[in-house]
Amino acid sequence: MTKSIEIKKFEDFFDITSSKRVYKSEWTTDGVPFYRTREIVKISKYGSVENELYISNEMYNDYKLKYGVPQEGDILVTAVGTLGICYCIKENDKFYFKDGNIIWLKKKQEINSRYVEYLFKSESVIKQVNSHIGAVVGTFTIEKAKKTKIPVPPLTQQQAIVEKLDFAFEAIEKAKANIKKNIQNAKELFQSKLNEIFSQKGEGWEIRSLGELGKVSMCKRIMKDQTKDEGDIPFYKIGTFGKKPNAFISKEIFHEYSRKYSYPKKGEILLSASGTIGRCVVFDGAPSFFQDSNIVWITHDEKLVLNEFLFQFYKICDWNPSKGATISRLYNNDLKKIKINFPKIEQQKKLIPRIEKLQEQTDILQEKYKQKLANLEELKKSILEKAFKGELA
């Protein structure tokens, strides 16, 4: 570390406090914006926020007179839940914020506030912030904020660091935007190829509703008192569908219900009918149970459509063909009405490996792009660390 950089604490440059309490009963629907943690996170990330909470102008002016309000160059830092996200107050900012959840760094000694913003993205400060996470809810307290150690070079060097980081980060963000666009293009190309396949016409192709293929099925309802946090048979709810289960049922219930009531066969396509509509999983046959009505499947004999072909169709299926309001649930009757275009079984068998190969190529391409994104994030970290050690050329 260069000799010109000193190790200081936030309390050397800021009076660290929070706001005066505003009670929920004092919130209004217009007036001066009132920010909580979520709003600070958004305005820090996007530069603006669509606000839904306010306090009256009278209250704001009263608090401004008695206790003060954030001034240009002050720093607000999230202190509960999402920790260490900071926002530097701009010249024309006018808002108030929730006490306790947000720490207020009121500038008392000269320091470049943009430099401080970058400090909160550095590994050193992030470690100090996160080292104070409690057992239940993460917190970054005022007292701990005061003692947080930071590298502080002279003001001219702080400004130079900010300018270099601004330039580097702007270039990185542009590169990330291009990569994200490439990822989206890869997805759209795959979707386009799938659409071409499922919109083919001609000899051997026909259109049927999913209801004509078979019936919509679901597992027997499981009551809350029939589940446990640990156990033998995983029980997938809509929130854990396709993920790690957090509930289980007994072997006895599983064996009884899977014999007496509807239960998927290995290879059938499980489908989410609520939440994110249309997420699908090929059932692997392992003993497991699925939440009724939220997770469904088409029970059929594959005489017309193979399950593997149906699985590919679901990837391009329009779950809301009426083009009405956004749907929050896919009802059985609506699912049965959805049309699928398909060829003879032999042609399906030829198309499936072609689609799978295309999916594999798309996945490989996306992974390469995602690795490039990860590399850019690592580059940002490296640039930050060099900057705060005085090593940035």
pLDDT digits (tens, 9 = 90+) for 249-265: 999 999 999 999 999 99
Q: Are 166 and 387 in contact (CB under 8 A)?
A: no
**Token pair belonging to 262:** 């509807």
Distance CA 268, CA 277 (A): 17
Instruction: Give the number of other CB atoms < 10 A from CB of residue 182.
Output: 15
- Burial code (b: 16+ CB inside 10 Å, e: under 16) for 299-333 equals bbebebbbbbbbbbbbebbeeeeeeeeeeeebeee
**Domains, the chain, with CATH or none:** 6-152 (3.90.220.20), 206-342 (3.90.220.20)
Question: What's the pLDDT tens digit per position in 101-110?
Answer: 999 999 999 9
> In degrees, to the nearest 5, what angle opens at C-alpha 218 toward C-alphas 301 and 211?
50
Instruction: Tell me the two tokens of residue 318.
Output: 């329009």
Digit-coded pLDDT (tens) for 329-359: 999 999 999 999 999 999 999 999 999 999 9
pTM to 2 decimals?
A: 0.78
CB 194 within 8 Å of CB 359: no
3-class SS at 79?
coil
- The percent of residues above 70 in pLDDT, for the chain, comes to 96
* β-bridge mates for residue 114, sequence order: none
Mean pLDDT of 353-378: 96
What amino acid is encoded at 133 in this protein? I
State residue 17 phi and psi, 5-degree precision: -150, -160
Query: For residue 136, what pLDDT is reported?
Result: 45
Q: Determine the Cα–Cα distance for residues 124 and 34; give it in Å rounded to an integer.
A: 31
Q: Mean of the pLDDT values across residues 10-26?
A: 96
What is the DSSP pairing of strand 96-97 with strand 32-35?
A: parallel
Of 107, 110, 117, 109, residue with least CA distance to 40: 117
Tokens of 112: 């470049």
> Given the structure tokens 């050193």, which residue do they identify?
124
Query: Tokens 């002050």 belong to which residue?
Result: 74
pLDDT 10s digits, 46-101: 999 988 899 999 999 999 999 999 999 999 999 998 899 999 999 999 999 999 89
Whether the pLDDT of residue 134 is over 60: the answer is no
Contact 165, 177 (CB under 8 A): no
Per-residue burial over 33-69, b = 16 or more CB atoms within 10 Å of its CB, e = otherwise: bbbbbebbbbbbeeeebeeebbbeeebbeebeeeeeb
Q: Do the Cβ atoms of 3 and 388 come closer than 8 Å?
A: no
Q: How far is the C-alpha of 326 from the C-alpha of 170, rounded, in Å?
A: 36
Tokens linked to 381: 């970290």
Cα–Cα distance for residue pair 377/29, rounded to 1 Å: 39
- Give DSSP secondary structure letters for 202-248: STT-EEEEHHHH-EEE-PPP--GGG-BSS-SEEEE-TTTTTS----E
Task: List CB contacts of 110: < 8 A, sequence separation 6 or more.
Answer: 13, 155
Hey, what are 223's tokens?
């009551």
Q: Coil, helix or strand for 383?
A: helix
